[in-house]
Amino acid sequence: KKQAALYERAVAELARRLKDAEGIARRGLVLSVLMQLKQICNHPAQYLNQADFSPHNSGKFDRLASLCEPIVQRQEKALVFTQFQSLCQPLADFLAGIFGRSGLVLSGKTPVRQRAALVRQFQQDAGPPFFVISLKAGGSGLNLTAASHVVHFDRWWNPAVENQATDRAFRIGQRRNVLVHKFVCRGTVEERI
């Protein structure tokens, strides 16, 4: 409900502001609000720049929990991609509660020297059960075949970028079926993406 209310308010505010905007300012306003709408779809705390990422305030967090519970029971591993670097740690904290142990995070802030070590750690049979990755940081060059699930928490504008991210798990040497889950909030800009 909180997400829906924030989304409606942002759309109404955009409509009001567009009446007075022209040219490049109008385009900039639309692009800015599109990003805000995507943040609202992820979690209200991301949009409001708050620290409380309570799962009951986000349909996506709730869906992620129900998706990961059987993954935990089958002792499988998951990759979770988001385009927002700021969402990586809240997702990792949330998933640690579901999996009962911590996972890994790779974002633009991760030093290049550490990336190979993180990949080796994830690839081990007894390694971490999940890996949260920002789309731009992990879209290419990683071999993560230990995962049998890929979750695109939010949608990227270019499907080729998402496909590259999915290919981190679906590579030569992969012996498991790989299920790809793409989260989309109904009735929002995400359906258009």
Round to whole Å and give the CA distance between 81 and 118.
Answer: 15
The predicted structure's pLDDT at residue 158: 87
pLDDT: which is higher, 112 or 16:
16
The predicted structure's pLDDT at residue 112: 83
Round to whole Å and give the CA distance between 22 and 8.
Answer: 23
pLDDT in tens, 107-119: 988 888 888 899 9
Mean pLDDT (the chain) is 91
Mean pLDDT of 2-22: 93
Round to whole Å and give the CA distance between 149 and 64.
Answer: 12
Round to whole Å and give the CA distance between 80 and 153.
Answer: 7
Between CA 44 and CA 162, with CA 30 as vertex, the angle to 5 degrees is 65
The predicted structure's pLDDT at residue 139: 58
Model's pTM, two decimal places? Answer: 0.92
pLDDT: which is higher, 138 or 115:
115
Percent of the chain with pLDDT over 90: 69
Per-residue confidence at 8, pLDDT binned at 50, 70, 90? very high
